[in-house]
Amino acid sequence: MTKRKNRYIKPWLVIAAAIIFWAFGSGFYGNLLATSEETYKGLKLFSDVLELVERNYVDPVDTKMLIQKAIQGMVRSLDPHSSLLPPEAFEELQVDTHGEFGGIGIVITMEKGILTVISPIEGTPAYRAGVQAGDKIVRVNGEPTQDMELWEAVKKMRGPKGTTVVITVAREGVKEPIEFTLVRDMIPIESVKWIALEPGFGYVWITNFRDNTYEDLVETLEELESEEVPLKGLILDLRDNPGGLLNQAVEISDLFLESGKIVSIKGRQERHTKVFSARPNDVKRDYPIVVLINGGSASASEIVAGALQDNKRAVILGTTSFGKGSVQTVEALREGYGLKFTIARYYTPSGKSIQAKGIVPDIVVKERFLDEQITAEDEGLLKEKDLKNHLKEEPDKDKPEESEKEKKQRIKNRRKDTSRHGPLDIEKLKADNQVMRALEILISYQLFSRVEESQ
């Protein structure tokens, strides 16, 4: 009996090792040979379970799918931002960093396992049809979304211009599900929008950090700086900006800094530890800046806000940011797969980690909608600290967190209207109390500067 058992164990150990090799490539294989006895035991346990399931489970199983889900579970147990990307998801990630795509025009997230609309993008098919922020998408083309990955849902809703997709949503206060038949259109990925609020005072909204965001911002600033009235002050709006590419955040911060640190990243590997510093610019942009942030400002937007705050280059106004202070990389794997995983934490120039903490504004001003001020903490937005398995602020720090009851209440109060996409509307901006407070600060700065010059 013992001999028979050993005959099965050995081939499956080879297969388990081959699985890991297939997933991570030859670079990992070398390390695998030198792993501890505990790792060996773990691989043996994995091979035993896989063998038993494949041979004895009530229905035939797809071994490759089991392996993929096992790897996915392993990676996701690390933190909420690490995951195995199947070929389709890897392709979608690359689409998200540049160009445009055919779709219906909604920003979505997976909240407590439910596909949720953050906001419809103004002027798109979803916006025109009446899809609203807070809608729960329960079916796409009749297929339930309950067990879908976020990337799967995105892929099903994207498609060639002129084709049709049907989404079914559950809406708070409405008893029956609502069905929308939408004709896809081209959805441009626009990351920088601007307008002159008053002569000499510019407003720039960076929606996210993509491949060309830096170039777009430079063109925008040149437009504002070449107006008939010279630029006296700038409002840089990073609210609801989920982040994006690290290099874009560094380059944009450098536009407004002549020296000093921008951000430092620290990982276990030496190659993942680096300090980014500002360099002198050909164009001196020394006008005052107010940066707007809120609970939806995350990652790269927090890098910019932190760099300008710590270098005393801008006043930060709004509410505490999301608190995503970790750096991810995406490694291409064989057969079109990708691995997104966390390699480092990042720190502001003064050495502060904002992981699960956020950037605290210099001036706290909560958003106001329809003359009603939001009183829930940080507008009730989902934060990094709400995410399962989130990283601690620093490796050895374990600070007390809010209670589960407080967390649930804050998420329940999450504001419904985050639709700030589409063309900028001067009247809407002038009704935005955070924007107007920022403008008041810039105008006051100019007045005080004139008084000082005259003395």
Q: Which of 83, 119, 321, 324 is catalytic?
A: 324
CA distance 361 to 318: 6
| 62: annotated active-site residue | no
Tokens 């690490």, residue located: 82
Report how far Cα 180 is from the mean position of its chain's Cα atoms: 27
Which residue type does 144 have? P
User: Given the DSSP bridges, would you call strands 100-103 and 185-188 parallel, antiparallel or unpaired?
Assistant: antiparallel
Q: Are the beta carbons of 171 and 454 closer than 8 angstroms?
A: no
Which residue type does 338 have? G
φ and ψ of 317, to 5 deg: -130, 145
| 324: annotated active-site residue | yes
Q: Please state, in angstroms and as integers, the Cα–Cα distance from residue 235 to each residue in 31, 193, 269, following that order.
A: 50, 12, 38
- Total residue length of the chain: 455
Encoded tokens for 126: 């979803």
Encoded tokens for 186: 């081209």
Q: Are the beta carbons of 220 and 236 closer than 8 angstroms?
A: no
| 48: annotated active-site residue | no
Q: Which of 310, 378, 386, 432 is catalytic?
A: 310
Encoded tokens for 431: 């009704």
Q: Are the beta carbons of 90 and 336 closer than 8 angstroms?
A: yes
φ and ψ of 390, to 5 deg: -65, 150
Question: Distance between the two ends of the chain, CA-based, in angstroms?
Answer: 99
What are the beta bridge partners of residue 194? 204
Q: Which of 299, 301, 321, 353 is catalytic?
A: 299
Q: What is the set of active-site residues?
A: 299, 310, 324
